[in-house]
Amino acid sequence: MKNIITLLCLFITTLLIAQKNPPIKEAPLNPIILKYKLEHFNLVGNIQTVTLNNSWQLQFNEDGLLVKEYNDVYDANKKLVKEYKYPDNTTILETKYEGENGVINSKYILNDDLNIIQYEVLDTKNIPDYYILDPITYEYKDQLLIKATTDKSKHNYNFKSEITTYKYDNKKRLIQTSLLYDNEEDIKFRNTYDYSKFNEGKILFLKNNGYYQISQDYNNKGTLTYEVVKENGNKANPLSIIYRSPKYDEYGNLSTFSDGEYRYTYFKK
């Protein structure tokens, strides 16, 4: 179970960004700690809601900050799954609703550069222990995330901290993530990224020291349009959401693609 959670956390953190530069279309794989602004979703304009295929909806306030997330939007079982509050410039409060009655209340702390530097769970209700993330601290250099350290000291493991490190090229694009236990690297969890064909819109992603080799194509808007995955040299199922034949609205936001559509409502100016 620990290894599964470790893999999942590393993958999610790797896909996720906190810095202001470069823009997503130039570095789509740079990490985002928490997607809570329109720009984190590659969205622009005075958007109030985004709905995907009648099932998933994001709701923003007039400052472009995420406030609610829903599942099964047009179903009788429409469910609020996340809420966000912003009590001040350095705090984000997150509430997750899990299962029937489960609740996780968490807090993100930001520094003066508006980078997230800390995550912690405040309290929970009806949540199994393995659902609860441990405290995490984040470090930056030149506005780029370089280290995420998870405190594992409360567990009966043979290590006290789990560390993910991030390296970048001279264009501030992510080129490597590594997982370490108490500063000792585990090469099974090293991911590398090759931009040699970036001008063609392609990024080559070598996951877990060769276990997965992923070739991804992005267009100039930063939308993932194609992906080939090889597992131990054999072709495997895609690991990401692919938007084939994407089209965009008047603001440049993704609106339709081969497998679905996004629908937007906008605040009145």
Chain mean pLDDT for the chain: 89
What per-residue confidence (pLDDT) applies to 129?
Answer: 84
What per-residue confidence (pLDDT) applies to 10?
Answer: 42
E strands along the chain, which residues? 47-52, 56-60, 66-71, 79-88, 91-98, 102-110, 116-125, 136-141, 144-151, 161-168, 174-181, 184-194, 202-207, 212-218, 224-231, 234-236, 247-248, 254-257, 260-266
For residue 131, what pLDDT band results from cuts at 50, 70 and 90?
confident
What per-residue confidence (pLDDT) applies to 75?
Answer: 66
In this structure, the number of other CB atoms found within 10 A of the CB of residue 60 comes to 23
Expressed as residue numbers, the domain containing 211 is: 2-266
Number of separate domains in the chain = 1
**Position 26 pLDDT exceeds 70:** yes
Task: Quick: pLDDT tens for 147-157.
Answer: 999 999 999 99
For residue 18, what pLDDT band results from cuts at 50, 70 and 90?
very low
CATH code at position 110: 2.40.160
pTM, to two decimals = 0.87
Task: Quick: pLDDT tens for 166-190.
Answer: 999 999 999 999 999 998 877 778 9
CA gap 67, 71 in Å, rounded: 14
